[in-house]
Amino acid sequence: MKNQRRNIIVLLLVLTVASAFTGRITEEKATEFTVNGLKVILKPSVKEIISARFFIKGGTTNYSKNQEGIESLALAVAVDGGTKKMTRTEFATALERIGTTIGFSTSYDYSEINMSCIKDHWDPSWQLFTDAITQPRFESKEFELIKAQTIAQAKQTESNPDAHLRNRSMETAFANHNYAKIPNGTTQSLEKLTLEGVKSHFNSIVGKQNCFLVVVGMISEADLKERVRLAFVSLPEGKKISAEPRLELKPDATIENRDIATNYIRGIMSAPSLSEQEGVSMMLAMAIMRNRFFVELRTKRGLTYAPNAGYTATIFNNPYALFYATSTDPKQTLKVMIDQINEVKNQGFKEKELTDMKETYLTNYFLDLETNGSQTMSLGLSEVAGSWKLTENFMSKVESASIKDLNNVFKKYSTSINWMYLGKEAAISKDDFKQPQILPGAEKVSPKK
């Protein structure tokens, strides 16, 4: 009775949040249009904050392995180094005066320049935002300063075991492929970059065929069309980026010896794209695995403080799912992780696990989209994945996912995990990473209730 009451309360919360949010979606549908060859996605909002994001497709496809960090550095100089109209100090002062923020991010499949402002300062904010994209200063003095800051950040990242584990995991699993490149660069790659090379790279990626704009705010379509027409009139056509063929990760284990107090474990496996129904099923499956890891590894055994399992919803060309833990007892921790993975492959998830996860996931999903900034990011990422309209049927895909869907997709991909270990080599062996085979007839076992 207690669990039933809790489920009813959670369901009511989901329905309340979903109803409020989808009610606004009904009134404020996103639309797309093209202005002089540049794709624009607009979603009106009743909020006073306006969010704009200029997406650049390609990510690690846009540069070679020895140019790691070039796109990140190029965007940093564009948004922090001033424009042809203003010096770096003048630009920063103008933003501070009106409370507007302009930033950027880079990833494996895309980069983006973003702006957030209040409605009353939309005019000057838009001008500053578009000038950073179309008229970046790229001055030698500012370039060297920002480059030095970027190298310092890279050194800090390289000394962080978690960041090093992630980068080494990607380099080994995706060797000789685009995801083996580190988007933010390394100390060695960044030191080789020149102002001319960075400026040339920026000019090569910012073009109508490779970019699009997403805006969420209290503005009209006519207003935005005119602003885009004037601001991006000189934007070159550019070129379309061809995605790398999907790579199927191979089962393997890499051990990197390091004398540290805590040992780090990360395993990744291929996964379907979020644009596919299988992708939503994998997302839910890995969210349930995260809960299982927390219970088995932390709550019951105290082997690790922060175990994790997840699905990379922002990775599109070569999506993957991951398993992660840190521990002073890596052998036992890894055994429990693999036992949990194998249990699901043999016996499947429980119906109750899926029911609870759907409620939790949808609640968090709608709450996460409460800000205009989160909505521009969601629409933009969906567009990079294939179409911004993917956001419109995400809820129905979650609701329609069955326990059979989750069990099938998990079995399909979890037999081939690529592991990376960072820590004391004597504490573990490659044999510890081997996965037992699925038991005969296990695929026919009915899901647990």
Note the helical H segments in 369-448: 372-385, 394-400, 403-413
Q: Same structural domain for residues 348 and 411?
A: yes
Q: Same structural domain for residues 61 and 138?
A: yes
Q: Which of 206, 186, 210, 202 is nearest to 76 (CA)?
A: 202
Q: Which of 197, 231, 265 is the last residue of a domain?
A: 231
| Tens digit of each residue's pLDDT, the chain (449 residues) | 444 444 433 333 443 344 444 444 434 789 999 999 999 999 999 999 999 999 999 999 999 999 999 999 999 999 999 999 999 999 999 999 999 999 999 999 999 999 999 999 999 999 999 999 999 999 999 999 999 999 999 999 999 999 999 999 999 999 999 999 999 999 999 999 999 999 999 999 999 999 999 999 999 999 999 999 999 999 999 888 888 888 999 999 999 999 999 999 999 999 998 888 899 999 999 999 999 999 999 999 999 999 999 998 788 889 999 999 999 999 999 999 999 999 999 999 999 999 999 988 888 878 878 899 999 999 999 999 889 998 888 888 999 999 999 999 999 999 999 999 999 999 999 999 988 765 545 444 434 44
Domain that includes residue 149, residue range = 30-231
The answer to whether residue 1 sits within a structural domain is: no
Q: Same structural domain for residues 274 and 226?
A: no
Q: Same structural domain for residues 262 and 175?
A: no
Q: Which of 231, 265, 296 is the last residue of a domain?
A: 231
Tokens of 28: 């404020």
The answer to whether residue 246 sits within a structural domain is: no
- Written as one string, the DSSP assignment of 61-80 is GGS-GGGTTHHHHHHHHHHH
Cβ contact 420:368 at 8 Å: no
Number of residues in the chain: 449
The dihedral through the CA atoms of 55, 56, 61, 62 has a sign that is: negative
Q: Same structural domain for residues 102 and 216?
A: yes
The answer to whether residue 177 sits within a structural domain is: yes
Q: What is the pTM of this model?
A: 0.89
User: How many CB atoms are closer than 10 A to CB 252?
Assistant: 15
Q: Which of 81, 78, 86, 126 is nearest to 106 (CA)?
A: 78
- Written as one string, the DSSP assignment of 163-193 is HHHHHHHHHHHTTTSGGGS-TT--HHHHHT-
Q: Same structural domain for residues 224 and 275?
A: no
CA–CA distance, 409 with 288 (Å, rounded to integer) = 13
The answer to whether residue 213 sits within a structural domain is: yes
The DSSP H or E segment spanning 322 is: strand 320-327
CATH number at residue 343: 3.30.830.10
Q: Which of 365, 374, 362, 316 is nearest to 43 (CA)?
A: 374
The answer to whether residue 269 sits within a structural domain is: yes
- Give the chain's domain count: 2
Q: Same structural domain for residues 221 and 256?
A: no
Q: How far out from the chain centre does Cα 299 lie? A: 28
